[in-house]
């Protein structure tokens, strides 16, 4: 997820609310499209949007991303249903309203789901990730983000819930994909990639729902009609998104956020 369009509410809502003339409006919409997130003052056409109530004290909300220094972004203005609306996504008919710079609070604690995630690791199981990505079409950076979040690339990892291996496959997933040795890095990564491919197809490439289903299961996502209200799952989704962005940067597929 591009950092510029996916800055946490505590970082970006200040620019949204202070940048728009209707500054007293405290509802910000979190909109998801093709695995990217934007913030807007009205629901965006073509995106799945959820309204978020922002306190007047929004700039002092906990920093979900941890200390990241200075981040630059763009706020766009356009007309929608006869009203002027603002968004961080450059939609048709938009024009640049302002360029903003947001400084993350120094020493701000990271989201509980991020913890100390460490730097991207490109050399660990490099051949296995490359092969799985080629065989399934699942983005290599996305696949690595899940492995990093799940096990920290520990092929022998076992969770209290019974998940095993690099991709922390649950018993039913191990059975579904015919995994003989869940502690084999190649089998685990291969099956994990196939499972992610299946989830991407089910959720029409909505990577937020893919991450939620990988963590909480398809049943939970169906039951709640989206990301389940589980603290663990919500933290996990954020963690995978941040890791995906970091792997894209590490792999030279996007620029490092300006500081």
Residue numbers annotated as active site: 150
- How far apart CA 185 and CA 172 sit, in angstroms, is 18
What separation in angstroms does the CA of 176 have from each of 14, 49, 51, 195, 236?
46, 33, 37, 9, 23
Instruction: Please provide the DSSP assignment of the chain as one string.
Output: --GGG---HHHHHHHHHHHSS-TT--EEEEEEETTEEEEESSPPTTSEEEEEE--TTGGGS--TT----EEEEEEEEEEETTEEEEESS--TT-EEEEEEEEEPPTTPPPPTTTSS--S--SSTTHHHHHHHHHHH---HHHHHHHHHHHHTT-TT-B-TT--BTTTTB-HHHHHHTT-S-TT-HHHHHHHHHHHHHHHHHHTTT-HHHHHHHHHH-HHHHHHHTSS-S-HHHHHHHHHHHHHHHHHHHHTTSSPPPP-
């Amino acid at each position: 997820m591009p950092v510029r369009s996916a800055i946490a509410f505590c970082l970006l809502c200040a620019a949204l609310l202070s940048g728009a003339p209707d500054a007293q409006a405290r509802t910000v919409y979190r909109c998801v499209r093709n695995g990217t997130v934007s913030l807007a003052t009205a629901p965006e056409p073509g995106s799945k949007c959820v309204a978020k109530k922002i306190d007047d004290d929004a700039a002092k909300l906990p920093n979900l991303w941890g200390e990241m220094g200075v981040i630059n972004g763009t706020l766009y203005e356009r007309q929608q249903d006869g009203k002027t609306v603002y968004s961080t996504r450059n939609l048709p008919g938009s024009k640049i309203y302002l360029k903003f710079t947001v400084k993350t609070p120094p020493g701000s604690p990271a989201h509980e789901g991020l913890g100390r995630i460490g730097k991207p690791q490109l050399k660990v199981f490099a051949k296995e990730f490359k092969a799985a990505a080629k065989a399934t079409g699942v983005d290599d950076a996305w696949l690595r983000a899940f492995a990093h979040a799940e096990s920290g690339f520990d092929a022998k990892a076992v969770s209290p819930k019974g998940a095993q291996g690099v991709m922390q496959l649950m018993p039913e997933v191990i059975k579904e994909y015919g995994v003989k040795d869940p502690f084999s890095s190649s089998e685990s990564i291969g099956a994990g990639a196939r499972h992610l491919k299946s989830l991407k197809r089910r959720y029409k490439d909505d990577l937020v729902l893919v991450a939620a289903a990988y963590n909480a299961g398809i049943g939970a996502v169906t039951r709640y009609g989206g990301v389940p209200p589980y603290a663990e799952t919500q933290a996990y989704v954020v963690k995978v998104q941040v890791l995906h962005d970091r792997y894209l940067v590490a792999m030279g597929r996007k620029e490092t956020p300006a500081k």
